[in-house]
Amino acid sequence: EVQVVESGGGLVQPGGSLRLSCAVSGFSFGSHWMSWVRQAPGKGLEWVASIKQDGSSKYYVDSVEGRFTISRDNAKNSVYLQMNSLRAEDTAVYYCATLLRHFWRLEYWGQGTLVTVSS
């Protein structure tokens, strides 16, 4: 059974930083792209970032480009989201998901971790 577990969320002040982690088990992690998707309170889903199997390609939504960095450690079956210069509008539940290259499927999702940016 595939398990995706996010961690690292919490309360942070505007301008602060936070690092989210996502651990995947029961899955050939190193063979797949990975993504982060978020949902702000009362809003819809928003794709945030994706990373290739070997980390050589990364893509971001414009609103986080230059502030967030996606990375991965295939030896630990984990993907990370380093979030800097956080803003109130970054407040959201952040989901980690596996991304299957075939039709770019967000196939397996975690339960999410809540990030709150507030003073």
Partner 1 sequence: DIQLTQSPSFLSASVGDRVTITCRASQGISSYLAWFQHPSGKAPKLLIYGASNLQTGVPSRFSGSGSGTEFTLTISSLQPEDFATYYCQQVNNYPFTFGPGTKVDI
Under the rule (CB under 8 A), what is the footprint of partner 1? 35, 37, 44-47, 50, 59-62, 95, 97, 103-107, 109-112
Task: From residue 43, give the alpha-carbon distance in Å to each of 29, 40, 64.
Answer: 30, 5, 17
Residue 55 vs 112, nearer CB to partner 1: 112
CB of 75 to partner 1, least distance (A): 26
Helix, strand, or coil (residue 17): coil
Which C-beta is closer to partner 1: that of 73 or that of 107?
A: 107
Q: Which C-beta is closer to partner 1: that of 58 or that of 84?
A: 58
HSE (CB half, 13 Å, CA atoms) of 99? 19
Residue 58, strand partner residues: 51
